[in-house]
Amino acid sequence: MVNQAAAVTKNEAEVKIAVRDLSISYGGVPALTGVTLDVREHEIFGIIGPANAGKTSFIKTLNRMDTFDSSMKVEGQILFNGLDVTKLKNIYALRSRIGVVFPLPVGLPLTIYENVALSPRLRGIKDKSELDVIVERCLTRAALWDEVKDRLSSLGSLLSGGQQQRLTIARALSQEPDVLMLDEFSIAVDPVTTMRIEDVLKELKHEMTIILVTNLVQQARRLADRTAFFLDGRCVEIGDTEELFTGNVKDQKTLDYIEGKFG
């Protein structure tokens, strides 16, 4: 189905995450089958596709969230900087290098400050002034600092949905991650905030690799360098975003989905 040559990058130095023949099932029911693709360093890698395509399951395997769900079985290889994460012992180190943002923001029941300072604290940073710097930098980069700088000690879970989502992004950034994964981050966010976050992502691309799962095809077009189209548990096509969106597709279903003929 997928043209292997197009999916796999030739220059290995550029590859951040290499996925080889990945299959996922829940209690024996397959959710994703035979995915092979490369995510390159410093790119925004978009994943589009209708519901139940296996997009979320896919990113869950990258930081071993399959360990949260005993019914979830993963087969295949996922190489993160060349190391197979499915066989990794120190999954804590892996997770600390991958920031995750989910559709519904999870403001931890801590103050705004502590939400962002938590990850540095987990890394062992105790110095207050150092934490202050990290908190301000991460909130600024998540385009939230100006709105919350006067109430850092109020609860993060009391912010509005859009603010909480930016807080979640700030928290992910406080991990100083190599990879940022966003799963339909804009579902609970208003359009203006969405555009602000998109601008942030374009900036962040220079420092990290971003995997953007989205059900808004136009969002993928605006942001992603390359885009994968998932459908019914398979990766139908991977290509440069502009190529796909200008109709240069290998599979007609990709074009139909992009043009909104089904969804």
Partner 1 sequence: MFAQSSLNVRNKRVESLFRTLFLLMTILLIIPVVIILGTLVAKGGGSLSIDFLFTDPTNGMTAGGIFPALLGTILIVVVALIASVPLGVAAAIYLNEYAGDNWFTRLIQLAIINLAGVPSIVHALFGVGAFVLFFGFGTSILAASLTLAIMTLPVVIVSTRESLRSVPQAFREACWNMGATRWQTIRRVVLPNAVSGILTGIILEVSRTAGETAPIMFTGAAFFLPFLPQSVFDQTMALSLHLFVVSTQVPGVPEGLPYGVALVLIGLVLLMNSISIAFRMYLRGKKKW
* Residues of this chain that bind partner 1 (CB under 8 A): 63, 65, 68, 70, 92-98, 100, 104, 106-110, 118-119, 121-122, 155, 157, 168, 171-172, 175
If the CB atoms of residues 94 and 211 are measured against partner 1, the closer one turns out to be 94
Whether the CB-CB separation of 212 and 220 falls below 8 Å is answered with yes
Structure tokens given for 92 = 């804590």
If the CB atoms of residues 3 and 71 are measured against partner 1, the closer one turns out to be 71
Q: Least distance (Å) from partner 1 to the CB of residue 181?
A: 9
- CB-count burial class (<10 Å; 0-12, 13-18, 19+) for 92: exposed
If the CB atoms of residues 81 and 157 are measured against partner 1, the closer one turns out to be 157
Nearest of 186, 235, 191, 237 to residue 212 by alpha carbon? 186
If the CB atoms of residues 113 and 257 are measured against partner 1, the closer one turns out to be 113
- Contacts by 144-149 with C-beta closer than 8 Å and gap 24+? 144/170, 148/112
Dist. CA 50–CA 231, nearest whole Å: 7
If the CB atoms of residues 57 and 119 are measured against partner 1, the closer one turns out to be 119
Beta-ladder partners of 48 = 229
Q: Least distance (Å) from partner 1 to the CB of residue 145?
A: 20
Question: Which secondary-structure segment (H or E) carries 140?
Answer: helix 128-141
Q: Least distance (Å) from partner 1 to the CB of residue 156?
A: 9
Q: Least distance (Å) from partner 1 to the CB of residue 24?
A: 17
If the CB atoms of residues 59 and 228 are measured against partner 1, the closer one turns out to be 59
Strand 44-48 with 209-213, pairing: parallel
Q: Least distance (Å) from partner 1 to the CB of residue 179?
A: 12
Whether the CB-CB separation of 159 and 107 falls below 8 Å is answered with yes
Nearest of 211, 238, 213, 208 to residue 9 by alpha carbon? 238
Give Cα separations from 75 to 7, 23, 27 (angstroms).
19, 5, 13
Q: Least distance (Å) from partner 1 to the CB of residue 106?
A: 4
The angle that helices 112-122 and 161-174 make with each other, rounded to 10 degrees, is 20
If the CB atoms of residues 174 and 227 are measured against partner 1, the closer one turns out to be 174
Q: Least distance (Å) from partner 1 to the CB of residue 87?
A: 18
